[in-house]
């Protein structure tokens, strides 16, 4: 990962504020990675929460794949009614370069529509993920999952922003294994203390 220091946050209209929030804040502020925003065009992309985020790159121009470590795609309120073929084309280029893709909530629907997901492993829609496991007869079972990691693709439910970040930190090696586990325990326990 040494020479790959760029992380892209793919923004769309009404992107969801909380879903990638933990992942980008920790990676950008407490590791060697730098987060940049990318979108279809240069006009600021307003979040569900009313944040008008400026755009660093547009998908049609992006060339920096050799420094790109991951594309993170938050959900939001515009995935259902848009195909976003141009964004899918960009993700296709990245997948060809073996760049991991992390998608949460509505963004998993987008990946599914464009054929990026192994349907056996990432079953379900943006509201409920399932993970396949085999029982002792060798039959596939589908177990509800909050996050599924399969090869270069991470998918997560909207309620699993902390676990989504945790899996991203493991893949990016933002810190030692122990530090990452400690972060996860603290934020998961924070929820229920």
Radius of gyration of the chain (CA): 16
Please answer whether residues 19 and 105 qualify as being in contact, where contact means their C-beta atoms are separated by less than 8 angstroms.
yes
Q: Which residue has the tokens 């326990």?
A: 189
158 binds a copy of itself (CB under 8 A): yes
- CA–CA gap between residue 156 and residue 20 (Å, rounded): 10
Give the footprint of a copy of itself on residues 51-80 (CB under 8 A). 51-54, 77
| Shortest Å, Cβ 40 to a copy of itself | 17
Cβ nearer to a copy of itself, comparing 51 with 120: 51
The single residue among 10, 12, 22, 103 that binds a copy of itself, judged by CB under 8 A, is: 22
Give the footprint of a copy of itself on residues 77-96 (CB under 8 A). 77
Using the 8-state DSSP alphabet, how is residue 46 labeled?
E
Question: How many residues at the interface with a copy of itself, by CB under 8 A?
Answer: 47
- CA–CA gap between residue 68 and residue 3 (Å, rounded): 9
- 3 state SS of 122: coil
Q: Which residues are catalytic?
A: 105
State the residues that interact with a copy of itself by CB under 8 A: 9, 14, 16-29, 34-37, 44, 47-54, 77, 144, 146, 157-163, 186-193
């Amino acid at each position: 990962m040494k020479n790959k220091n760029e992380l892209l946050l793919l923004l769309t209209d009404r992107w969801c504020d909380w879903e990638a929030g933990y992942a980008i804040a920790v990676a950008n502020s407490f590791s060697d990675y730098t987060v940049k925003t990318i979108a279809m065009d240069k006009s600021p992309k307003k979040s569900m929460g009313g944040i008008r985020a400026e755009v660093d790159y547009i998908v049609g121009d992006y060339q920096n794949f050799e420094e790109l470590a991951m594309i993170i795609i938050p959900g939001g309120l515009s995935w259902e009614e848009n195909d976003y073929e141009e964004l899918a084309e960009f993700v296709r280029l990245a997948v060809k370069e073996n760049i991991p893709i992390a998608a949460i909530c509505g963004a998993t629907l987008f990946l599914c529509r464009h054929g990026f997901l192994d349907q056996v492993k990432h079953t379900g829609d943006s509201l409920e993920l399932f993970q396949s496991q085999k029982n002792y007869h060798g039959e596939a079972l589908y177990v509800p999952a909050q996050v599924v990691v399969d090869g270069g693709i991470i998918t997560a439910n909207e309620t699993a922003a902390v676990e989504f970040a945790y899996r991203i930190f493991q893949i990016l090696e933002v810190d030692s294994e122990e530090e990452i586990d400690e972060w996860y325990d603290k934020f998961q326990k924070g929820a229920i203390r």
